[in-house]
Structure 1
């Protein structure tokens, strides 16, 4: 008995899995810089389809006090001491 090539979808399944399985189409980048005075500035951007999201966070250290400030895409400001 001779088998045919099978369903058309099954032929390219391995190739599709190799190209698309566990592949995230979102793009993300993070840039962080530090100063000698104890300030850390970090910027993160994410692209999800046509939507761009981003935030900027800073960490300020002075003696025994550390303050974190974060601003996101919607201009929400959050602070932690």
Structure 2
């Protein structure tokens, strides 16, 4: 019995893997800025299709205390002091 053609889904598999494997189609950005008095503000956003997820976080360092405050698109506020 001879070897027949491969599966239809295998046709072009190497080309598809080259173009799409490990490629993220989502849009993402991160912007960080620092002030002279030790405050870091970071904004991150991800767009997946029509859904936009974002958050804004701040980090304040004063003496030996670091405070992080984060707010996201679900109106969740989290605060952590180290």
Give the TM interval when normalised to the shorter protein.
0.7 to 0.9
Number of the residue aligned with 1:17: 17
Q: Which runs of 5+ in 2 are unaligned?
A: none
Secondary structure of the structure 1 residue equivalent to 2:57: strand
**Using the alignment, how far apart are the partners of 1:68 and 1:34 within structure 2?**
14
Q: CA deviation digits over 1:2-59, x for unaligned, max 9?
A: x776554333111111111121222211100101100000000011121110000001
Q: Which runs of 5+ in 1 are unaligned?
A: none
**Using the alignment, how far apart are the partners of 2:11 and 2:4 within structure 1?**
11
Number of the residue aligned with 1:43: 43
Shift of 1:62: 1.6
Q: Answer yes or no: is the 8 Å Cα contact 1:61–1:67 preserved in 2.
A: yes
Q: TM-score, normalised by structure 1?
A: 0.83
RMSD: 1.9
Name segments (4+ residues, structure 1) moved above 4 Å. 3-8
**Using the alignment, how far apart are the partners of 1:74 and 1:10 within structure 2?**
42
Number of the residue aligned with 1:28: 28
